[in-house]
Amino acid sequence: LLFLKLENKPKEKLQKQICQIVLDHFEKQYTTELGDTWTRVRDVLTQPLCWQYAVLLNKFSHSAELEDTLRLKGYHPAFQGPLPYLPPSLKCYIRRTPGRFPAQKHQAGKLKEYYLLNAASLLPVLALEVKDGEDVLDLCAAPGGKSVGILQCAYPGQFHCNEYDDLRSRWLKQTIESFIPGPLINLIKVSKLHGREIGDLHPEFYDKVLVDAPCSNDRSWLFSSDIQQATLRLIQRKELSSLQFQLLRSAIKALRPGGSLVYSTCTLSKAENSDVINLILNSCSNVMPVNISEIAKAISQEFTFLSDTQQHELLVLPQKGRAWGPMYLAKLKKI
């Protein structure tokens, strides 16, 4: 009953104001890059009332009653196809209709039962394929959803979560405290280093690295409430690809030979996605692309992907009834 009451709260909060400067910029860029596909994507991004939210269960605290409640509300597992990597302990529920399951507040000393997120943000976790005992680095970890996702899948030997920004770093620590039990938290290292430094500080130390890079977040930027901030963001957007390239170079240094990394963003921008990966592949002779096309095939019923990407990359396109993304990911292996 409580879930029903919370879920049926007035929807006025979702009525956000679109920032016209950002929309005009996206209109110009994405019409060129995506053609007619952009129109369908734009219809989802500009209408928060059709957005969907997934429920990632916390294996350290969730109950059977929670799964029953989700099923009664029309939720079903997000990942059901023959995926190359899908640990049974990773449980994520989605439904086709828009809406948001009630969030749980942070309570000191009490673990949350679930994490609300965009279902596409778990695809980099699935692509990373973390196994028990591996040393793992989450280079740009805040707010912590992907770190929590990794820990649902496996128990790393060492797990290093890094976040340079002070405010976001505090957010990351709170997320970990909310979802991960005490004994396991003690094995997680949280740092506030600049991601560009980590490769030099920890050369060839990690088996797996996730680079969920700072990017022009298409969903949130469209609803920038401050015109000056929006304008500044669009100016700084041109510099992001350089930072992303530097973070990837650092991640490659931090990887052991034979180790792999996943790069991800939540933007549609070609300059921040495939262009960055192509630049890395052309300038770093010690990495090679890894085919992740099987992921898209396995979950094509629930997610829409851009069709003309290369085998080592995926781009999730938000569509009505499948409002997941934008989410770009690419996988590389160190030779």
Q: Which among 248, 249, 224, 250 has a CA at the least distance from the CA of 237?
A: 224
Q: Which two tokens stand for residue 268?
A: 């549609």
Binding residues: 140-146, 163, 212
CB 291 within 8 A of CB 241: no
- Segments making up each domain of the chain, as ranges: 20-48+120-334
Query: Does the pLDDT of residue 155 top 70, yes or no?
Result: yes
pLDDT of 20 above 70: yes
Cα 249 to Cα 238: distance, rounded to the nearest angstrom: 19
Q: What is the mean pLDDT of residues 99-122?
A: 93
The mean pLDDT value for 109-128 works out to: 96
> Tens digit of pLDDT for each residue in 273-321?
999 999 999 999 999 999 999 999 999 999 999 999 999 999 999 999 9
Q: How does the average pLDDT of the chain come out, rounded? A: 94
Residues labelled as active-site residues? 266
Q: From CA 191, how far away is CA 164, in angstroms rounded?
A: 8
The reported pLDDT for the residue numbered 239 is: 96
- Residues with Cβ within 8 Å of 256's Cβ and at least 6 positions away in sequence, in order, are 204, 205, 206, 207, 334
Q: Is the pLDDT of residue 7 over 70?
A: no
State how far the Cα of 195 lies from the Cα of 244, in Å rounded to an integer: 10
When pLDDT is averaged across residues 4-8 and rounded to a whole number, the result is 43
Please give the backbone phi and psi of residue 118, each rounded to the nearest 5 degrees, phi first.
-75, 120
For 133-153, the pLDDT digits (tens) are 999 999 999 999 999 999 999
pLDDT per position as a tens digit, 190-234: 999 999 999 999 999 999 999 999 999 999 999 998 899 999 999
Rounded Cα–Cα distance for residues 243 and 259 (Å):
22
Topology adopted by domain 20-48+120-334: Rossmann fold (3.40.50)
pLDDT of 11 above 80: no
Whether pLDDT at 14 is above 50: no
Binding residues for S-adenosyl-L-methionine: 140-146, 163, 212
> Quick check: 9 pLDDT over 50?
no
At 15 the pLDDT is 58
